[in-house]
Amino acid sequence: MLGPDPFLPGFDLHDIKAGAIRIRASVGGAGPPVLLLHGHPQTHATWQAVAPILAERFRVVALDLRGYGDSDKPEGGERHVNYSKRAMAADAVAVMRHLGHEAFALIGHDRGGRVAHRLALDHPEAVTRLAVLDIAPTATMYARTDKDFAARYFWWFFLIQPAPLPERLIAADPEFFLRTHVDGQSKTSGSPSPELFAEYLRVYRDPATRHAICEDYRAAATIDLEHDAADADERIEVPLLALWGAKGTVGQTYDVLATWREKALDVQGHALNCGHTLQEERPDLVLDALASFLANEGR
């Protein structure tokens, strides 16, 4: 154990080996296990207003995905395989097993939602229920891309360019790029808080982080799509909750529930009055939705 988590009150930080990769995890609470996966450009600290409340009833684990936060940042490998959602999902399963949890509820926002989707397909025995925040399935979003989506989500097409083009351009002013990205996604004044933005900027200043983020997106546009195509007929069988921001691109571009009903058998969900980063903009509404969705966990 590394000590108390400065962002999640009552949680402790751990470095956990997932195979050859070291993953930073924050752990707190007692009860049925729940795993939280963040998105880009966040770290596990994004769950600051959600995790401590969940920890009143659950054993909560919030980790930094490989390449993000204070987790290891390996090279991308051939065809970006080391940042495939399959590799990231395997990290998450290894962390939970290290902590003694063979099966758990899974909640993922943004990139973490894509990892969670892959985890539920690759390790169905490990997932009791799945919540995805402000995403439609990756393959669906790429397949239905049009000018409006490409303009709104330009980084999906910028970050996938061959190295080192995006890495060097972002390096010219990481704070400007990060601020522009975050401000464009959030539709709630004051979100993220200055302390959260400072934390995201701390890790974004690291060239290894920026390269890893590009590799994450490169994998999403290549090897992840191959994995999705290979099991396109598979359906997630556990209950799936989809939440999205009514003011965000995903909610304004897709019939979110319909896209998930193409991937899962038991889907529910609704929009929240916010932008992309639900857990930061409207943690109260996220917690309300999760309280109902997780009500039967461990019973």
Cα separation, 108 vs 248, in Å, equals 17
Tens-binned pLDDT, residue by residue, of the chain (299 aa): 899 999 999 999 999 999 999 999 999 999 999 999 999 999 999 999 999 999 999 999 999 999 999 999 999 999 999 999 999 999 999 999 999 999 999 999 999 999 999 999 999 999 999 999 999 999 999 999 999 999 999 999 999 999 999 999 999 999 999 999 999 999 999 999 999 999 999 999 999 999 999 999 999 999 999 999 999 999 999 999 999 999 999 999 999 999 999 999 999 999 999 999 999 999 999 999 999 999 988 76
Cα separation, 95 vs 75, in Å, equals 20
Q: How many Cα atoms are found within 13 Å in the side-chain-facing hemisphere of 199?
A: 21
Catalytic residues: 110, 276
Nearest-5° Cα angle at 110, 139 to 189: 135
| pLDDT in the model for residue 299 | 64
Rounded alpha-carbon distances, angstroms, from residue 116 to 35, 133, 138, 153, 202 = 10, 10, 12, 21, 25
| pLDDT in the model for residue 1 | 84
Residue 125 DSSP code = G
Q: How many Cα atoms are found within 13 Å in the side-chain-facing hemisphere of 121?
A: 23
Q: Are 51 and 5 in contact (CB under 8 A)?
A: no
Adjacent-strand bridge partners of 109: 133
Cα separation, 67 vs 40, in Å, equals 10
- DSSP per position, 194-224: HHHHHHHHHHHTSHHHHHHHHHHHHHHTTHH
Could you tell me the sign of the dihedral formed by the alpha carbons of 263, 267, 273, 276, in that order? negative
Q: What three-state secondary structure class fits 69?
A: coil
Cα separation, 190 vs 43, in Å, equals 18
Nearest by Cα to 136 from 2, 44, 266, 252: 252
Where on the phi/psi map is residue 8: left (φ > 0), alpha (ψ -120 to 50), or beta? beta
Cα separation, 52 vs 39, in Å, equals 19
